[in-house]
Structures are given as structure tokens and as C-alpha cells.
Chains A and B, each alone.
Chain A
Amino acid sequence: MSTQVPETETDAETETESKPHQERRLAEKEARREAADRERAAREELAAAESTVHLKVFRYDPEVEGKQEPRFDDFHVPFEKGMTVLDALMFARDHYDSSLTFRHSCRQAICGSDAMFVNGSQRLCCKTQLGELQEPVRVEPLPHQDVVKDLVVDMQHFYDQMESVEPYFQSEDLPEGELEEQRQSRENREKIKMSTRCIWCGACMSSCNIAAGDNEYLGPAAINKAYRFYMDEREEEDLEEHRMRILEQEHGVWRCQTQFSCTEVCPKDIPLTEHIQELKREAVKSNLKFW
């Protein structure tokens, strides 16, 4: 092994200084070898795999020369039954290109951070089985949102819309007595149950034509959030009116054209369009009451 060590300075005067350099160079050499080994191992894994999946992944980086022009990169990853789109992206990132960028965290469909546009539809990558998709699998960032880099979009507008509906419980009418909860009927909890499942992934907003054309439209997620509070029997009636005013504004519920695209893509199966229609009916009823 020692014969592989490259010649280095032997000058005694510089020895103390050169030693770290020498170590560093050796380490770098070792590192290069390790990187090559790793890539070879990945290729072997690929070759040994019974089948592989072909991904076409959207790439863009505003900052790095050569990546500023949006493009698609091809990745071939070994496939095993049960593998998800997220698994494939992670494999590609960890073995082929560490700059491949996407959000993900819980990989169990609850953090909502890995919603992307997969084969032309908004989906959570972690719960989308690769085996059910046609190849090549196209992975793109969510449409109608600014792309920050690769598959990462700017979520700020989505968050702003969510927060514009005052998404917090506001009941002041708390029960008296220590440790007394507000009673809620099972029926009422059942009524709001689906609406409380939203994980803020943004798939619905991205799929909505109206939201794409009208930046001020509250959008399905925010309206669903408002529904969750409007329908909760624990909030008082005057709050209901206050919430209805937010929902009824020019860019509120009436913009929805019942295209159902939000409902179709929702990874938590929330009947978004239905909730919006229900609120429209409530709006009509409450207007009648005002007269």
C-alpha cells in the first residue's frame, strides 16, 4: 500500500507544514476513490436490479451557470416493489447528483412538503407508488407557483392565503369550572373531520384554474380551512358572520367554478369542492337572513 503514496517534499524545514498537506492530499485521494467506489456500487446495484425505473426530472437553478436554463434530467434507478416516487428521487440524489433539490421530510403523507407534479398530476411523492405510473415518470414542480430551484416552489403565496382567513379558533365562550371542556357532539366532529385533515401541501391550489388566473382568489385550501371553523359548533354565531364576510368577499367562494380538480388531487381525500359549495349555500342563507 505504501508504494502507492505519491512523492512528497522531504525538506526538513517544511516538514511540520507539509505534513498536514500531505495528509490532506492522501485523504483527498482516498475520497476520490471512495466516490468512485460508491458510484460503481450504485451502477452495480442498477445492473443487478430486476428492473429499473426511468425518471425525467425537471431541473433549474437560477444561480449556477449551466443550470439556469430549465431542462429535464434522466435518471435510471433500481426498482423494487413498493417503491415510491420519493424513494426514487432520494436514490437519484444520494447516488448520482447530490444537487438534485426537493422538499421532503416525514415520508408518511403528513408533513405535506413533497407535493409535486408527477406524470401530469399533483401528488405527494411519498405516497405515490412507482409501479402504478407510466414510464418515463415525469417529475416537475407544482404548476402555477414560482420555482425556487429544481422541484422546490415558493409556498409564500399559499401560506398568505391560508392565513388570510383567520385560521384559528376564536371562541371566547369557555365553560366555567376547572377542567371543563367545550362540549362538541360526535355529529359535529364528524362534520368537520375531513376539513381538519388538510396538510397544507398546496396540491389543490396548484391544480385550480381559477387560482391560477386570479392571484387574490382565496383558493380551495384556505376556503376549506375557513369551513373547518365556520362549521365547528363550538364557535359562536357572531363569529360565524365574521367568517362568512371573509368567505363572501369578491375573491372568495363565488369564484369557484366547481371544476373538482382540487378534490381530485387532494392526497387526504378532502371533499374540497363540496365544502366550497356548502359554504355558497350558507352564504345565500345568511344573506336571506340579513334581509
Chain B
Amino acid sequence: MHEHDVIVVGGGGAGLRAAIAASEEGADTAIVSKLHPVRSHTGAAEGGINAALREGDSWEMHAYDTMKGSDYLGDAPAIETLAKDAPEEVINLEHWGMPFSREDDGRVSQRPFGGLSFPRTTYAGAETGHHLLHTMYQQAVKHGIQVYDEWFVSELAVTDHEDPSDRQCHGVVAYDVKTGEVEGFKANRGVILATGGPGQVFEHTTNAVANTGDGYAMAYRAGVPLEDMEFVQFHPTTLPSTGVLISEGVRGEGGILYNAEGERFMFEHGYANNEGELASRDVVSRAELTEVNEGRGIDDEYVHLDMRHLGEERILDRLENILHLAEDFEGVDGLVEPMPVKPGQHYEMGGIETDENGETCIEGLYAAGECACVSVHGSNRLGGNALPELIVFGKRAGHHAAGKDMKEAEITTGYSEDAEPGEVDTPVEPGAVPTTSDDVAADGSGGALADPTAVVEEAVETEQERVERLLEKDEGLQHAAIREDLQDSMTQNVNVFRNEDGLKQALRDIREARERYQDVYVDDPSRTFNTDLIHTIETRNLIDLAEAITLGALARDEFRGAHWRQEYQERRDDEWLKHTLLRWNDGDPELFYKPVILEGENKTYEPKVRSY
């Protein structure tokens, strides 16, 4: 058994920042990641990091824009923390050597982004995430943080007290991809989940293949609620063939969207008469799909994003990476032709419920980055707000886990006093399926033991059995078929446009996937680098996440931010200024709600009609 003070699961932006922070607090810190840290998906972020750095801008303005962008579903304490801490964190990255783009006076450049009242998006070309990831990995190396790369964390070691808020996390169980060993990692002070997004729930996504939402699923099964999962961001500019992201920076620099008739539809069809292409992402995504659905799409599938008029010099200076992506993945030269784009799954606004210090309702268990929901993004994330979230809340989680004295959080976690039970009419029984091998679907929490080592050991044993069973089974279903059908159904039914029939169909398909998964087996018997096994375990996580997203979407009968419902074309503040939460009740998802906190430090945010 390995033992450290703080164990960070995931080596992307949030994980690295958390590990550096914990290490700076003197904690013996390790990162356990199924990839090597430099392979993490943070590297694919392109656009930039929002932070109020300049005169004329202020953290208050950043907070206001974020609240408005969230369609009033973000919690003010979280949003204000993000806006206040971001400037120092961005400058900190600069001090760590991050190669930001520069102004003539040598200061870091900032540019406009959708939904921002000031050009506060700091960037490094169109490859900001790559530089952020590498800069932080460099610091992790400098700090001597131990990295277990290609170790797949598949379960948490949590005590099994009846009330999740009484439970404690003592470590994790991980599978060494290279050798096939299942081992325990004991965390003396805390476990931080920083496992990134769940994009693989959908077929067309900007997310990496590794983004299977493992952290969400593990926390969920251990008893932490998942919050606001119905809010899935679809990015309006992804390449049709692969889902590769074309940064919002293109529109930030002045890129224009055209339909098949050559119309600048954002204006000409009245989708956003003020902001045009720079309206919020949900607005632009719906506009594009409406164009396609009404027959003004190109090849009935996509629209055009044109940046030719920006001129070669400016494109090469600020968007060079976009030229390479369009060329390599779509065969289009962005200097001479417009690029084909369509909406694709991009970001999960919801996630593991945490407070401003990254802590969940389970003691010793933290989450940060995309897998967490603090919540800063509410029902729609503004471009450029994911990267500050990583560093701000990654750092806070790292500090708190390492034992630093932090101000008490204002956001509550778990099924607390302000929770209100909910109900939703589903066409099938969601969740647990009757099974003879209970470990496949059952709660992953550890034993009733108080001894931390024993809790980790028991969790290891359960995982070893699960892995053995999957490897030894000689026939059954392969995960790839189940995964593919799940992704198809989610893409058809729980996409940009949603309606009740589709959501119910998705729940039936998810239920079927869950039942088929009972017969899953791993064809490759090898202990060495068995990706078949890894993908099989991941597929189970995808099923749980698909269900959480769909149930949340069915429950929320209103239209807010990224969540569009055909039957409900209005935001219903009287009933829905509240978060959707799902918690695992022996495998059956239990729905409840919590009010949104609109009270900030010095002001209360008044919901206003969102117009662009």
C-alpha cells in the first residue's frame, strides 16, 4: 500500500494546481493519473483565462458577467471567489514562466470573449491550455511531487456510515495499467478528485477519449451528490468530422459565422442583434442548429466560420494553431476558405457538489476542475472561465486538504437543511439493476471499519475481485458496443435541443445499457497494459453519468442557459432558482434541490432577462 498525506487523482490543470498548493503547505503529495500529466486534456484548451487585470476592469465586473452568463444559476460566493482570486493566479502563472502572448510594452495580452463586458481573456496564442498544463507540470517537477502515471483510480476508499455526511475518505484504489496490479493508496489528509469532464457520454465531443467522468462516478457512488448535471455545454465551433475544437478566440478576434446562403445569420436572423457571434455559447449553438434545421446549413450539417478578413499577420500571431487544426483535421486552409463548424459537446457545467474550499460532504474528499460543481458556471459557462476555475479552486482544494486554515465555506454540501426533496416521472426504473454479482452495480463505499488502513484494504479487495471477474469471464458482451449505443442515444436525445419524449427514450436506452453491462467481459486476458479492461471499467462510469445528466434534464421543466426544453420555452425563476442534485441511494438516484445563493459579499444579484 502506498501512503501520502494528500492524493490527487488526475494530473491535468486542476490536479497539478492542487498538488502544487498542497505541497507548498508541506504535505507529502502524490498525483495518481491514468495518463501521464502532460497528456491531460487541459492541454487542448485554446482560448484563454479570464482575470480582471487591467485598469477599467474589476473583479466585480467579472463576477457580474459570470452570474449573468450562468443565467442566474451560479452561487455568488463561488463566483466572487473565482473573480477575486483569478488575477493573482494568472500573474502567478506568469511568474512560473508561462509564455503568454504579449503587448508591445511586454505585459500579457488580453482579448474579448463571448459574454464579457471587458476584454479580460488572457491567452497564449490559441494554445493557452497547452502552455498552462506544461507550465504547471514543470512546477510539479520542481516541487518533487511524486507522480504515479498510468495508474487508473477506479474506486474510493470511504467508510460506510449510513449518512454520507458522516463518511470519511481514507484513500483510493488504483490499477497499475503497466502491470495489472490493483493497489491501495492511503491518504492521511485528503483525496482530491481532479479527473476532468465526461465528454465521452456523447458521440460528438471536443473531449479527449480519456474523459470518461471517472471522478464524478466514483464520488457519486461513494455518496456525494452530483449537482446540475443537466447543464451540458455545447460549443458552437467544432469541426464536423472529429469534434476538434475551434477556439472562441476566432470569434473574439472578429471571426464571422455564415449560413449556406452567405447570410451573417447571428444578425440577419435576429439571434443576437447586439453581440452577434460573441453571444453566449448556448445562444450561438442553438442559432447554428436552427439554421441547419431550417435548411440553411451547408451539406445539411454545418455552417461556416470565416476568419480570412482578419489578415494573415493577425491570424498567425493569435490563431496560428487554428490554421493547423483546420488543415490537419478538415483539410481546409483557413487563410483562403471559411472553416466548417457545428456544435459539439464541450463542457459539463455540473459535477461533484463542493463548497468554495473544494470540499465535498464526505470528510477528506475534495473535487476541483471540471469534475466539480462549486458552482461558478451555473447553467452556462462563459468562454475563458474554465481555466481560472482550475487554478483558483485547484489551489484552494490543495490548501484545504493539506490542512491550511481556510475561511469557512458559505456554500453547504450534502443533504443539508436547505435541501428539498424532488420527484420526477420516469418511464423506467433508473439506477440499480438486480444482479448476482453485486459489486458491478453496488455502492463502492468501504467497510464499516474505523481503521483507515482497513478501509483502504477492503476497498482494494473489492476491486481486485471485480477486475478478476472481468478478466476471467470467457464470454459476454464487449464494452465498445454498449458504449457506442449509449453515446448514440445521448447525442440523439439529450443534445442541444431536448424534449420529454427524447429524454424518456434516453432513460430507456440507459437502462438497457445498464442491464447489458451485467454481462460485460474483457476479451484480452493480459495483465500488461490492458486497455480493454480500462475501457470496460470506464463504460460503467459513463452509464451512471448519462443517467444523471438525463434525469436532471427531465426534472428541470424550464429553459435556462444551455438547457433548452421544447415544451418549456421560458426561464421560470419562481420555481427554478435552485440546483438539481442527485444522490446514490443504494444505486437508485434520489433527486433533491437546493436554492441558488444570489447573495454576494456586497450585493445581491437580481435575475434579469438575458439578452445578447
Contacts and interface: CB of A to CB of B under 8 A. Distances in A.
Interface stretch (A5-13, A182-190, A203-211, A246-254): A182-190
Interface string A22-44: 01100110111011001000000
Taking chain B's interface residues, is the majority helix, strand, or loop, or is none over half, making it mixed?
A: loop
A31 B518 CA distance: 10
Contact of B44 (A111, A159, A181): A111
Given A159-B36, A179-B87, A181-B91, A98 B480 contact: yes
Contacts of B545: none
B529 A149 contact: yes
B442 interface: no
A163 interface: yes
A236 to B, nearest CB: 12
Contacts of A155: 36
Interface residues of B, number: 74
Nearest to B130: A110
B294 interface: no
Contacts of B526: 61, 63-64, 67, 99, 149
Contact of A99 (B91, B328, B523): B523
Given A34-B477, A62-B528, A105-B208, A112 B38 contact: yes
A156 to B, nearest CB: 10
A257 interface: no
A111 B208 contact: yes
Contacts of B523: 98-99
A25 to B, nearest CB: 11
Contact of A101 (B103, B208, B529): B529
A183 B106 contact: yes
B102 A189 contact: yes
A192 B98 CA distance: 11
Interface in A130-161: 148-150, 152, 155, 159
A27 B512 CA distance: 13
Interface string B218-231: 00000000000000
Contacts of A99: 523-524, 526, 530, 532
A106 interface: yes
A168 B330 CA distance: 35
Contact of A168 (B43, B97, B107, B129): B97
B594 interface: no
B138 A167 contact: yes
A18 to B, nearest CB: 12
A111 B91 contact: no
A108 B325 contact: yes
B476 A168 contact: no
Contact of B41 (A61, A111, A159, A185): A111
Q: Most chain-B CB neighbours within 10 Å: which of A24, A108, A127, A200?
A: A108
A288 interface: no
Nearest to A159: B36
B495 interface: no
Given A27-B518, A108-B329, A111-B43, A64 B525 contact: yes
Contacts of A235: 97
A127 B127 CA distance: 17
Interface string B59-92: 0000000000000000000000000000110010
A165 to B, nearest CB: 11
Given A98-B523, A104-B209, A148-B529, A182 B95 contact: yes
B44 A196 contact: no
B425 interface: no
B242 interface: yes
Contacts of A28: 475-476, 519
Contacts of B39: 105-106, 111-113
Nearest to B98: A169
Interface in B522-541: 522-532
B94 interface: yes
Contact of B43 (A35, A110, A169): A110
A234 interface: yes
B96 interface: yes
Given A111-B40, A169-B97, A184-B106, A179 B328 contact: no
B131 interface: yes
A35 B99 CA distance: 50
A168 B209 contact: no
Contacts of A178: 88
A199 B38 contact: yes
A193 interface: yes
Contact of A20 (B125, B141, B436): B436
Nearest to B93: A181
Nearest to B87: A179
B480 A181 contact: no
B581 interface: no
B481 interface: yes
A199 to B, nearest CB: 7
A181 B93 CA distance: 9
B101 interface: yes
Given A148-B528, A181-B107, A193-B99, A107 B208 contact: yes
B142 interface: yes
B245 interface: yes
A111 to B, nearest CB: 4
Given A163-B141, A174-B95, A108 B106 contact: no
B242 A108 contact: yes
A146 to B, nearest CB: 11
A106 B41 contact: yes
Interface string B464-488: 0000000000011110110010000
Contacts of B524: 64, 98-99, 101
Contacts of B108: 181
B244 interface: yes
Contact of A179 (B43, B88, B135, B210): B88
A264 interface: no
28 contacts: A28-B475, A28-B476, A38-B478, A82-B329, A94-B484, A98-B478, A98-B480, A104-B209, A106-B41, A107-B208, A108-B44, A108-B242, A108-B245, A109-B324, A109-B328, A110-B44, A110-B127, A111-B39, A152-B529, A168-B139, A169-B95, A171-B95, A174-B95, A181-B100, A181-B107, A182-B95, A186-B103, A234-B97
Q: Which 4 interchain pairs have the tightest Cβ spacing?
A: A169-B97, A183-B106, A99-B524, A168-B138
Given A111-B41, A155-B36, A179-B87, 9 more contacts: A63-B527, A98-B524, A98-B532, A105-B208, A108-B242, A108-B329, A112-B38, A127-B328, A127-B329
Interface of A: 20, 23-24, 27-28, 30-32, 34-35, 38, 61-64, 67, 82, 93-95, 98-99, 101-102, 104-113, 127, 129, 148-150, 152, 155, 159, 163, 167-171, 174, 178-186, 189, 192-193, 196-197, 199-200, 229, 232, 234-235
